[in-house]
Chain A
Amino acid sequence: MAKQDNVKLPETGMATFHGSERREDRFALPFEIEVSGINSDGEVFHVAVQTRNVSQWGCGFLSPIELKKNDIVAIRVAVPEGPLAIERPPIRFQVVRAEREGNKWAIGAWKMEPDDAWGIELEKITQPQSGGVLLRRRDGGDEADESEDE
């Protein structure tokens, strides 16, 4: 498989992500996020979860609520305590992977808009995990998958 680490797509291209595959650094950085959406019963949910890993354009987390592939959720970094805390706006993510893990769901989500979701420079905080996030999607977007690069 040819490496494409140096391929740079414009931000709109990254958001729609219709290349055959895309790789970017992923960081094992747990912090609290709020995931919001509307469930299959039409009820709104806001759940606070910890990220398992994040990248500039994606994140992984364990959801107590069932999410399906292609569901769209709003994610924002949880507001820290304190008077100077600034609430970050929610950013829309598309669920590209949803797997049952015990009584929860392991979710991989891909950012749909170019706005910065995390408000931090990931590279300055920690080192990327070995390998990266490999996302594949067939042309037309009907098959999305996220898997680790071994």
Chain B
Amino acid sequence: MSVVASGPKSAPAGGTRTEKSAGGGAAGVEIAGFPQILFTRTFGDPDMLFVPLLDAARESFNTIERLCERGEKRESAVLLSGMQLASSLLRDSSFSLVARGLAHDNGYTVDLEQGTLLAQTRLFAVVSRRTSFFKVEITGNLNENLFSVRNPVQNMVIMQVEEERLRQPNFFSATLAQECLRTQMEQERLSRIEESIGAQSSQEIHLILTVAGARVPVILRQSEEGRSWDIVDGRGQERIATLAPEFEGPLGSVIQSIKERFEQK
């Protein structure tokens, strides 16, 4: 088994690393229960290390089951598989052993007993002239193909990503960073809406309409007596008109349907 060098089971990342070796970032790889941390100065960026580490960790995880089937005690199989994983990392000269407790730009934790991989990194993204630099955690089970991306500061799941997408070149630095920032901005926008709703007790529906090529925020706001609906231009909170009465019934049905969905959920 080889994590970094091209090998039959970990070939996908072999070429990528060479191309980006000058700026790949530092990282610490922790194998749960292992006495030391495996440190790399140049290969720690998730675009370079996540996939080969996932492949290697998965191979070691599968080794545990194989060894147990052949009569090895599970505790011993976990120990041996962890050693195998560490040995495979150390075959690359960019890895060395360091003491635990040091902070690293990127952190990876492989738990072979639980069968999980956790990556902690920082992403940098620019969306709509907004620049953001934020921490994320990517976590998943070694025997599954779905990974969660979390914001550890807000303790919130940002999105779930299929492994297939994680394997795309530069997924972390390009795609994921942008998506995380977009999600963050969207959540902030919803948060503002919630604040607005909180200030007013009536029901509201927010829409983004394309009008003559421009995206216009529109609010349908129920009147205080709960009968009619005002149409409000979201740009300046200006009331434009009242919704025609014949549309109030269908709109009420839509709202009722959504309410029932939430009640079922």
A interface residues, Cβ below 8 angstroms from B: 12-13, 15-16, 18, 36-38, 42, 44, 68, 70-74, 90, 92, 94, 112-114, 140-142
Contact A94 B97 (CB under 8 A): yes
- Bound form: Cα–Cα A70–B87 in Å: 6
Of all chain B residues, which has the CB nearest A72?
B83
- Contacting A at CB under 8 A, from B13-40, are 34-36
Q: A42-B63, A44-B72 are in contact. Are A72 and B90 (CB under 8 A)?
A: yes
Give the distance to chain A from B147, nearest Cβ to Cβ, in Å: 26
Further 12 A-B residue pairs, CB within 8 A, beyond A13-B99, A68-B91: A15-B36, A15-B99, A36-B76, A37-B87, A42-B1, A44-B80, A94-B97, A114-B35, A140-B96, A141-B98, A142-B93, A142-B96
**Interface status of B41 (Cβ within 8 A of chain A):** yes
Contact A74 B80 (CB under 8 A): yes
Hey, which chain A residues are within 8 Å of B97, CB to CB? 16, 94, 112, 141
- Contacting A at CB under 8 A, from B75-109, are 76-77, 79-81, 83-84, 86-87, 90-91, 93-94, 96-100
Among A38, A70, A90, contact of B90 (Cβ-Cβ < 8 Å): A70
Q: Which 4 A-B pairs have the closest CB atoms?
A: A141-B96, A113-B35, A70-B90, A72-B83
Task: Tally inter-chain residue pairs, CB-CB below 8 A.
Answer: 68
Q: A42-B1, A113-B35, A140-B41 are in contact. Are A12 and B99 (CB under 8 A)?
A: yes
Hey, which chain A residues are within 8 Å of B90, CB to CB? 70-72, 94
Contact A70 B80 (CB under 8 A): no
- Bound form: Cα–Cα A147–B201 in Å: 80
Taking each of A42, A74, A90, which has the highest tally of chain B beta carbons within 10 Å of its own beta carbon? A42
Give the distance to chain A from B9, nearest Cβ to Cβ, in Å: 10
Contact A74 B83 (CB under 8 A): yes
Q: A42-B1, A72-B90, A112-B35 are in contact. Are A18 and B83 (CB under 8 A)?
A: no
- Bound form: Cα–Cα A74–B76 in Å: 10
Hey, which chain A residues are within 8 Å of B130, CB to CB? none
B interface residue count range (under 10 / 10 to 19 / 20 to 34 / 35 or more): 20 to 34
B interface residues, Cβ below 8 angstroms from A: 1, 34-36, 41, 63, 66-67, 70, 72, 76-77, 79-81, 83-84, 86-87, 90-91, 93-94, 96-100
Hey, which chain A residues are within 8 Å of B87, CB to CB? 37-38, 70-72
Contact B83 A16 (CB under 8 A): no
- Bound form: Cα–Cα A114–B98 in Å: 14
Give the distance to chain B from A20, nearest Cβ to Cβ, in Å: 14
Of all chain B residues, which has the CB nearest A39?
B84
- Bound form: Cα–Cα A42–B90 in Å: 16
Contact A38 B98 (CB under 8 A): no
- Bound form: Cα–Cα A112–B36 in Å: 8
Among B1, B76, B91, B98, contact of A70 (Cβ-Cβ < 8 Å): B91
Q: List 15 A-B contacts (CB under 8 A).
A: A13-B99, A15-B99, A16-B98, A37-B87, A38-B80, A42-B84, A44-B77, A72-B83, A73-B83, A92-B35, A92-B79, A141-B96, A141-B98, A142-B93, A142-B94
Hey, which chain B residues are within 8 Å of A74, CB to CB? 79-80, 83
Among A16, A90, A114, contact of B79 (Cβ-Cβ < 8 Å): A90
Give the distance to chain A from B38, nearest Cβ to Cβ, in Å: 10
- Bound form: Cα–Cα A70–B83 in Å: 11
Give the distance to chain A from B113, nearest Cβ to Cβ, in Å: 16
- Bound form: Cα–Cα A72–B31 in Å: 13
